[in-house]
Structure 1
Amino acid sequence: MQGSVRKKGATWSYRVDFGIHNGKRHQVEKSGYKTKKEAVKALNDVVYQYNKTGDYVENQKITFQEVYTEFIEKEAPATRAYATIVRYKSLYRNHFANRFDSFYMYQIGANSIDDFINEKMTKYSEEYVKGLYKFLKVLFGYAYKRKYTKKDIFEEVTTPPDPRHVGEIRSYTNEELLQMSNRLQNTNVITSFFIALNTGLRESEVFGLQWSNVDFENKKIAVKKQLLFQDKKWCFCPLKTKNAYRSVNITDSFCTYLKNLKAQQDENRAIYGDGYKRNFVTERLIKNKENLIEVTDFVNVKTNGEMLTTNSIKFLSRTIRDDLGIQFKFHNLRHTYATILAESGISPRYVQEMLGHSKLEFTLKYYTHVTEKMGALARNALESSVTFDAFK
């Protein structure tokens, strides 16, 4: 490949010779640069792109709006979860449309993105702004992959800082757990509290649980779906990753608790008779298909059989905060479950399987979150395994 610059009249141009392709010589020439320096820079960009990708791409006259629409209609349905697409649409509508829609993709530079992100940092949380950054990166990456732009400008965009709370693990002490369980006794939400604490299930998995998922004989719970609120209705949806489909072992005592709970619900059903609530959800377990189904065996129900949903967490959190002074997040019960296993010396691979993590690194954070109890376990293990008699 050879390239050169030259002056043509009052402006400068560059020419690149890519050699023979398919029996024909492939050359590109661009003119209209005011200075030789501008022409050389443009030439160097072409050379860099060709050396990096083995291809030459011209910037296409396609707007930000057109790229977004194409991505949402063609790419996203095949590669993104429904909830993610809904979030993308909200971010576009509330933040991107007015700012970028009328520009061609190649006209939006790294500095423009940096200015946009910095502006949002003054108004929104770090976590929210990181979400804006990630979606913009997705769109520009898509444009580059489709050869609408000759380079991915996000190689030059400044990455915003990670949210301060990322990586932090908040697990509850035995004293806090006892306080919370005592306060929640005789409330509708006590079952969801116990399930999360004893299984590490995510909140949408907890409330999607059915009795058909509970294997009393083998003391296991099969996690097969999640309950989400989509399009103003409650839906059974696929889990986020293939690893999330799992079988979670439960203790003898928790198995007994669930047996007693089911017996109580069967008794309530008999007492209420025809007045026992019927629950309907939209099943979206198969892509692009949905059916309205009746669910007769939700684990989390009120006394009258009415299904409980993740909306119940608002009451749970408010009650614990106001009555006990504990800042409660339902997801921290999952952290507590994992921390208990880690402190007990359970294999990280086993914990990964129980939590449904797609990567072991997500699980290992519970092991790097070293506690005094883990240190004591390590000392006891060494004490029982290593003898110093030979050195006496």
Structure 2
Amino acid sequence: MANKIVSEKNKPARKKLRDNEYYNPKTKRYEYHYTDCLGKKRVISSYRLEETDQLPKGKKSSKSLREKEAELTAQLDNSIDIDGAKLTLLEVMDRYLQFLYNRKKLAHNTKVGYNVTVNTLKQYKLGYMEIGKIKPEHCEDWLVDMKKKYRGSSIQTQISLIKRVFEYAIDRDYVIKNPFRGITTDRSDSKNMEAISVEDMNRFLEFCSKDTNSAHCYDMIYVLFWTGLRASELCGLTLDNIDMSNRLIKVEKQLQCINHTHVVLPTKTAKGYRTIPMTDGVYECFERILKNRYLKGDIEPVCYDERGNAYEGFVFLATRSRKTIVRSHVEEYLANCIKRFNNANSDNPIRKFEPHICRHSFATNFQYLPPKTLQYILGHSKISTTMDNYVDVKPSSEQLLQINVVAKQLICN
């Protein structure tokens, strides 16, 4: 009773306080006392009781006590974890990623992608906001700023992770709704992921086969274009993976660079373990590769997996050092060859592309294979990944030829 009497005595004139509302004469703030869903006693406060009240001179603007009470009531009615709601987006993301890593083993590149999102979010105010205070308008402002610096596909990848973080927060009663639910962006740079045309591919490969400085890369680039291998899978091939008798390539591992060390890792997914048939051209490339393979000082490079198992006999080695190569080396070799080609064909250059586009080109060029066969060769877990993300529509001229071929076959039958 004493507290209530003191509060009544010191409350400002003409301010009628509700149950559990008090005026603190020492801080000159209005207070609301409550018990959260975990039974913990808490207090929220403000210099203003109502939204229309005047803010004391020199004080920083904030929500009135009644506004805070309304938000709090909504949280309590939905059993929101008040402490969880006060965590920043980056803190919740860290919890989510730890949960994810403990639940299942993720590919190295997947973890790298998640770290990119974390480091990018650290550059924005959104990452340091309490997750319970993030509204759709904050997310939209973040998206506007992101579009000034990053490509559409990169932004969409980060949006995907942040959405899952909020769903994680909802499951744990940190928030009621997902403010990122309606946030999306177009993949404005998707054109860069289109396959290289057959004409440009053949022009480029022919140049590499004849150019003095590019010839050493020809077989490697040809294999990328005509097998659909990921660059890391190509780097992970060892001599025992090449079955020349049956013209097959066994894909069972990849070679990645982790903390400046070349590490043997499992394939990206379980479906990545597969056997790829060689075309005649790929077979001829491997004949040359194996015939011309040599070691510097007869020392076989050795790489280890995460359990300490040793691997040697890698098919593709660096041109000069004869050490193992990883994707960054393949990217460098390819970029140099493209540069030489464009210097020699300034009137009809080709666009710059990365090794993964060779994989897209393979998928597009071989789209007439049975879909499940193409899915298997590419090592995709879902057919939708193959058909929606990798196979581009052929030009109208090629569609015309193909539809007539099929039509003639049907007439003959």
Tell me if both proteins adopt one fold, taking TM over 0.5 as the criterion: yes
Aligned counterparts of 2:72 and 2:311: Cα–Cα separation in 1: 63
Q: Report if aligned partners of 1:223, 1:246 keep a CA contact under 8 Å in 2.
A: yes
Tell me the residue number matched to 2:170: 144
Q: Which has the higher strand share?
A: 1
2:262 to 221, 224, 234: 234
Q: Report if aligned partners of 2:262, 2:303 keep a CA contact under 8 Å in 1.
A: yes
Q: Report if aligned partners of 2:80, 2:175 keep a CA contact under 8 Å in 1.
A: yes
Aligned counterparts of 1:337 and 1:9: Cα–Cα separation in 2: 69
Is the deviation greater in 110-119 or in 372-381? 372-381
Please report how far the alpha carbon of residue 221 of structure 1 lies from its aligned counterpart in structure 2 after TM superposition: 0.9
1:321 to 334, 339, 342: 339
The two structures have a TM-score, normalised by structure 2, of 0.71
Q: Does 1:296 align with 2:322?
A: no
Q: Report if aligned partners of 1:246, 1:354 keep a CA contact under 8 Å in 2.
A: yes
Question: What are structure 2's unaligned runs of at least 5 residues?
Answer: 1-17, 23-31, 33-42, 52-65, 343-348
Q: Does 1:334 align with 2:359?
A: yes
User: Which letter maps to 1:151?
Assistant: K
Q: Report if aligned partners of 1:105, 1:149 keep a CA contact under 8 Å in 2.
A: yes
CA shift in 2, pair 1:97/1:292, >3 Å: farther
Tell me the residue number matched to 1:360: 383
2:156 to 127, 130, 146: 130
Q: Does 1:163 align with 2:180?
A: no
Question: What are structure 1's unaligned runs of at least 5 residues?
Answer: 1-6, 14-29, 50-55, 388-392
Aligned counterparts of 2:267 and 2:50: Cα–Cα separation in 1: 56
Aligned counterparts of 1:72 and 1:41: Cα–Cα separation in 2: 29
Tell me the residue number matched to 2:246: 218
Please report how far the alpha carbon of residue 259 of structure 1 lies from its aligned counterpart in structure 2 after TM superposition: 3.0
Tell me the residue number matched to 2:218: 190
Q: Does 1:63 align with 2:87?
A: yes
Aligned counterparts of 1:181 and 1:114: Cα–Cα separation in 2: 48
Q: Report if aligned partners of 2:224, 2:231 keep a CA contact under 8 Å in 1.
A: yes
Tell me the residue number matched to 1:203: 231
2:139 to 109, 113, 123: 113
Tell me the residue number matched to 2:8: none
Please report how far the alpha carbon of residue 76 of structure 1 lies from its aligned counterpart in structure 2 after TM superposition: 3.0
Please report how far the alpha carbon of residue 355 of structure 1 lies from its aligned counterpart in structure 2 after TM superposition: 1.0
Please report how far the alpha carbon of residue 200 of structure 1 lies from its aligned counterpart in structure 2 after TM superposition: 0.8
| Partner deviation per Cα, 1:181-231 (whole Å, 9 max, x = no partner) | 432456332232121122110111111111211122222111112221111
The two structures have a TM-score, normalised by structure 1, of 0.74
CA shift in 2, pair 1:97/1:169, >3 Å: closer
Q: Report if aligned partners of 1:301, 1:307 keep a CA contact under 8 Å in 2.
A: yes
Secondary structure in 2 matching 1:83: helix
Q: Does 1:99 align with 2:122?
A: no
Secondary structure in 2 matching 1:205: helix
User: Which letter maps to 2:331?
Assistant: I
Tell me the residue number matched to 1:261: 289
Q: Report if aligned partners of 1:278, 1:294 keep a CA contact under 8 Å in 2.
A: no
